[in-house]
Structure 1
Amino acid sequence: ARGPLISMGKPVESTIRAKLLQALQPVHLEVHNKSSMHAVPRGSETHFKVVIASQCFAGLPLLQRHRLVNEILQAELAGPVHALSIQAKTPQQWEENQSVSQSPGCLGGSRHDPHMATKLGSQG
């Protein structure tokens, strides 16, 4: 059992998960909200990391895999989602190597930057 697809407090994350499940029928899917690591108000859903393994990626180069995910999530990328990190593998690649690379640091100001932390103090 997969549990509920829509989480009341996380509508964007839930939509991303539901769209990818429906379109790509992955054998593995992780959707991580990385917004708290960036200079955005608490509770934001603007920065995400997706780790996905799907047979739909078989025979596709990495760039084409990313384009496929971006096309599925085009409405979210045109709206609330500011950044999306994607790790797209075939089921065979996932079985051989389940490691997940670290997300890159925020170039637009991080919560861990003292100057941004001061700015954000009144927002969260």
Structure 2
Amino acid sequence: MHQLLSRTFKPTFLKIYNESHLHNQKLGRETHFRVVIVSHEFNTISPVKRERLVHKSLEHELQAGVHALSVIARAVDEPLDTHTSPPCQKPVV
């Protein structure tokens, strides 16, 4: 993911968090990710379109087993708040 996003968007900042362990996944599973990316490529693009572009660039990974992808995509002149993902909801029985 890191290489693909780096090639596609030439980010000034890129961090990928594997959050699978927060979602009742076994250790080592790679199913839930949070991507924080800052790029000049996003300077003239709306926030919704940025997120769509990131999702589209990772389409193969999403089809190959990535279950959830959270994206924070910012232009270089925007403040970066990396947020945290909410805890996984336990299934109601």
TM-score (norm: length of structure 2): 0.90
The Cα offsets for residues 22-78 of structure 1, whole Å up to 9 and x where unpaired, read as 000000000000011111111100000000001111111111001100110000111
Shift of 1:92: 1.0
Amino acid at match of 1:28: F
Q: Which residue of 2 aligns with 1:82?
A: 67
Q: Distance in 1 between matches of 2:20 and 2:71?
A: 15
Higher helix share: 1
Q: Secondary structure at the match of 1:18?
A: helix
Higher strand share: 2
CA RMSD of aligned residues (A): 1.6
Q: Distance in 2 between matches of 1:90 and 1:22?
A: 17
| Larger relative contact order (CA 8 Å, sep ≥ 6) | 2
Larger Rg: 1
Runs of 4+ in 1 over 2 A off after TM superposition: none
Q: Which residue of 2 aligns with 1:52?
A: 37
Amino acid at match of 1:65: R
Q: Distance in 1 between matches of 2:27 and 2:57?
A: 27
The yes-or-no answer on 1:19 pairing with 2:4 is: yes
Q: Distance in 1 between matches of 2:86 and 2:48?
A: 18
Q: Which residue of 2 aligns with 1:4?
A: none
Q: Distance in 2 between matches of 1:32 and 1:74?
A: 18
Q: Distance in 2 between matches of 1:98 and 1:58?
A: 14
TM-score (norm: length of structure 1): 0.69
Amino acid at match of 1:102: T
**Structure 2 residues without counterparts, runs of 5 or longer:** none
How high is the sequence identity, in percent, across the aligned residues? 35
The Cα offsets for residues 75-98 of structure 1, whole Å up to 9 and x where unpaired, read as 0111210001100001111xxx23
